[in-house]
Structure 1
Amino acid sequence: MLPTLFHKLVIIKLLQPEKVVFAVSKYVAAEMGPEFTEPTPWRLEEVFKDTNCRTPVIFILSTGADPTAMLQRFAQKMGWTPGERLYMISLGQGQGRIAEMMVQQAAGKGDWVCLHNCHLAKSWMLDMEAMVEELSLETSKAHPDFRLWLTSMPAPIFPVLVLQNGIKLTNEPPKGVKANVNRGYNDMTE
């Protein structure tokens, strides 16, 4: 009797445990279909329709993926010029207060703010949580055009409330030639 894919998976688990994640992915694709292992493509135009001034958009980063250029292109397409209506700040040591003021001003005027690398601002996480909670309230005075964009690597310190209130997007680098071509085509058509 020939070994099944599942038998091969068990053998890989026993002999080469470092390859089990890749093997499980292949097994799921073979048994259930590739749509269960390939990330669902998304376009900012479609995601934007689901946003509002009280819902942050959270880009969950992975190594080699940076949504900044995509966000800047989308902002320009929507009439939000980077530096004039789209403000970006990279969080880290001492940037929390500046970011908070930037968000307050943008929320009042209806501009967009992107806070980069939220995972680096450990000491500011509670303040960010309070700020997002305040923005999410029905009584929030945020301008209807205001949008808050956040980027972060997966981190245990990231506030659960922000994750619950936000729209989460992953931006993984494409795997393989076909995925690379598809990503390039989608980037060009945005």
Structure 2
Amino acid sequence: DKFQAIIVLKALRPDKVTNAMQDYVAENMGQRFIEPQTSDLGLVYKDSSPTIPLVFVLSQGTDPANDLYKFAEIMRFSKKLNPISLGQGQGPRAEAMMKESMERGKWVFFQNCHLAPSFMPTLERLVEHIDPDKVHRDFRLWLTSMPSEKFPVYILQNSSKMTVEPPKGIKANLLRSYMGFTDDFLNQCGNKVSELKHLLLSLCLFHGVVIERRKFGALGFNIPYEFTDGDLRICVSQLKMFLIEYAEIPFKVLVYTAGHINYGG
């Protein structure tokens, strides 16, 4: 029995147990159970309503913003999505944005609620007073927050919640990053589609390495760097732009902007 073999392996070579378990799960349950899964916002959206907020519970280094932007594009709500990163002094603007969106049927995206504890009582009051008979049927409230004691209990109890956790391991990070790009995106680079695919794969591999590097904290660095998916997004945007604008691939420019500015800045 292969499971018994894994038990023996745990005693003799514990460093090989993870790989053996992945092979066992893939063989008995299917390959999809060991591959990183992308967030299916469509399923969550179907169960939502204008009066039920959608909350992303974050873990360190995760950012679901890009997934939401892509979903808004699919739903043809790109121009009706109002994002705002909460922080000091953003409360009045966020409140006005939410009231306007409830009337006009827009989506509101409040990011990093844990960074605006003073705004949380106001947000709770706004959610409590959403009138299902008056609010526009297309209105949705999207929230992201790290676990926080200041986050309103009422919203937690009356919302659709999704946890966002980073994949573990370089391979899992590479697959998750690269699988997030659609064929339409890859084919928007004129006659340099092949170059874009190769460089994008290399960039995703680099991103997976630095994401795994975070577990070592400040070892080898002056301070611990919080690399995020935002770093990858800006690098991909610049990569695509440079490939379109330059006849020859500007490798020195790509290396400098990615390594010294976006990730190293």
Shorter-chain TM-score tier: 0.7 to 0.9
From 61, 68, 71, give the equivalent of 1:71: 68
Q: Which residue of 1 aligns with 2:46?
A: 49
TM-score, scaled relative to structure 1: 0.73
Aligned to 1:158, the other structure's residue is in SS state coil
Listed as ranges, the matches of 1:25-44 within 5 Å are: 42-44=39-41
Kindly tell me: are residues 39 and 187 of structure 1, through their superposed partners in 2, closer, same or farther at Cα, counting changes over 3 Å?
Answer: closer
Rounded to whole Å, the distance in 2 between the matches of 1:48 and 1:124 is 25
- Report the residue type matching 2:163 in the other structure: T
TM-score with structure 2 setting the length:
0.53
Q: What does residue 157 of structure 2 align with?
A: 164
Please give the secondary structure, in 2, of the residue aligned with 1:150. Answer: strand
| RMSD between aligned residues | 3.1
Correspondence for 1:127? 122
Structure 1 residue 159, shift from structure 2 partner? 0.6
Structure with greater helix percent: 2
Question: What residue ranges of structure 1 are gaps of 5+ in the alignment?
Answer: 9-25
Q: Residue in 2 aligned with 1:17?
A: none
Partner of 1:150: 143
- After the TM superposition, which segments of 4 or more aligned residues of structure 1 sit over 4 Å from their partners? 38-41
Query: What one-letter code is carried by the residue in structure 1 that aligns with 2:152?
Result: P
Secondary structure at 1:65 match in 2: coil
Q: Specify the SS of the correspondent of 2:165.
A: coil
What stretches of structure 2 of length at least 5 have no aligned partner?
A: 1-6, 12-17, 30-34, 184-265
User: Do structure 1's residue 99 and structure 2's residue 94 form an aligned pair?
Assistant: yes
Answering whether residue 103 of structure 2 is matched by residue 108 of structure 1, we say yes
Q: Give the distance between the partners of 2:37 and 2:159, measured in 1 at CA.
A: 18
Larger radius of gyration: 2
Q: In the TM superposition, what are the counterparts of 1:171-190 in structure 2 within 5 Å?
A: 171-177=164-170, 179-180=172-173, 183-184=176-177, 187-188=180-181
Report the identity percentage: 46
Q: How many residues align?
A: 163
